[in-house]
Chain A
Amino acid sequence: GEDVEQSLFLSVREGDSSVINCTYTDSSSTYLYWYKQEPGAGLQLLTYIFSNMDMKQDQRLTVLLNKKDKHLSLRIADTQTGDSAIYFCAETHSSASKIIFGSGTRLSIRP
């Protein structure tokens, strides 16, 4: 069945780059997403990538997709304290009517 896996925790120093990794099992995935959840709030879409792309950049965010290995990553450049949150990887495909989320990676920033 479909599965999305992420590590649960990541700690980085302020100003460094953060790289959050995700693996998925559904080879027919069409869209892959990164969502951010701040404490006490719902999820907000950060970015998404279509499966025929291998990279997408948006300001400090870079998404890399390795479709062969079913591996997705989110790089946050110059990590700031406001980036502290839980980051969820998610996937769906064009014939599906649901989106599958990973367990989320809690990003903490140390001074």
Chain B
Amino acid sequence: NAGVTQTPKFQVLKTGQSMTLQCAQDMNHEYMSWYRQDPGMGLRLIHYSVGAGITDQGEVPNGYNVSRSTTEDFPLRLLSAAPSQTSVYFCASSELQGSGNTIYFGEGSWLTVV
């Protein structure tokens, strides 16, 4: 039972490069989201999706794009990496919100932009 799988686990980028963080879940969850975690700031929501074909912005969406072409996958794209995007990124999924359902997190992707 894979749960939520994120890749890569570690990545170093140069300023201006683009890349995609992959996220896949095998639990048929409707809700998927991306967070970034920075020291002293907890988890901040970047983008989320309540189902295939539907995405919306969170608190800190600038510099990131997402798409949700299938229920299983929710990739996060960094368009032109900046040092401010150095962070730990977590993908999460759950059944639809509002019912106390458990949110399952991936193990995180450590991104450094130099």
A binding-site residues for B, Cβ under 8 Å: 6, 8, 30-31, 33, 35, 40-45, 48, 50, 88, 92-104
Contact = CB atoms under 8 A, between A and B. Distances in A.
Most buried by B among A6, A44, A94, A103: A103
Nearest to B41: A103
A56 to B, nearest CB: 11
Contacts of B92: 43
A88 B10 CA distance: 23
Contacts of A95: 98
9 contacts: A33-B103, A41-B108, A50-B100, A92-B97, A97-B56, A98-B58, A99-B33, A99-B45, A101-B44
Interface residues of B, number: 27
Given A30-B98, A42-B90, A8 B108 contact: no
Contact of B103 (A40, A45, A96, A102): A45
Contact of A104 (B42, B58, B99): B42
Most buried by A among B33, B42, B106, B108: B42
Contact of B42 (A30, A31, A88, A94): A88
Interface of B: 4, 31, 33, 35, 40-45, 48, 50, 56, 58, 90, 92, 96-100, 102-103, 105-108
B105 A44 contact: yes
B42 A42 contact: no
A88 B40 CA distance: 12
Nearest to A96: B97
Contacts of B4: 42
A66 B102 CA distance: 22
Given A43-B90, A45-B102, A45-B103, A98 B45 contact: yes
A44 B43 CA distance: 13
A103 B33 CA distance: 18
